[in-house]
Amino acid sequence: MRQNTGFILWLTGMSGAGKSTLSRALQAKLDGVRPVELLDGDEVRTWLSRGLGFSREDREENVRRIGNVALLLARHGVGVIVAAISPYRGSRDEVRRMAAAKGVPFLEVFIQASLDALIARDVKGLYKKALAGEIPHFTGVSDPYEAPESPEAVVRSDAEPVDAGLERVLEMLRKRELLPSAAAA
């Protein structure tokens, strides 16, 4: 394992795709193995990005803020798990470039699910409201979601159990020597 190497593990996907579920499972597996922090998009909006709306500019600024905090932590040896919709490819790529410039590994994980699955999981009914035109600027309905073109991993949360996606991501971290080979097994 590369000693004291922090990293940014960026989980992106539409609302309800399973980013928070997978990120919490990852955090639980990595806790005690190495320093790890979770930056969840909903929590970040409450504390770090309060006052930002849902315009494209505000969403991109939100991603930049998350990226800057993640980079600060990773530069000090922390494995940072980010779980955020981060709908625009350009802003995710900007964070990737910032990390590369500082020598910090950036790994993007696309949490993918069909719109039908997302609607079925949506206990608040947000997708139905957005499809009915009641919620403006809803990612994937009335605002774009730009899927990653070449993520390091894809997790199909509507077609596989959480444990399968969890193991795929852990194995990716092991192969990149960001975890000991026997860690989090």
- Strands 7-12, 106-112: pairing kind: parallel
Q: Are 91 and 52 in contact (CB under 8 A)?
A: no
77 labeled binding residue: no
Q: Are 157 and 17 in contact (CB under 8 A)?
A: yes
29 labeled binding residue: no
As a whole number of angstroms, the distance between CA 173 and CA 22 comes to: 15
Tell me if residue 86 is catalytic. yes
17 labeled binding residue: yes
18 labeled binding residue: yes
98 labeled binding residue: no
3-state helix, strand, coil in the chain (%, to 5): 40, 15, 40
Among 86, 114, 150, 181, which one carries the catalytic annotation? 86
Residue numbers belonging to the annotated binding site for ATP: 13-20
- List residues with catalytic annotation: 86
Residue numbers belonging to the annotated binding site: 13-20
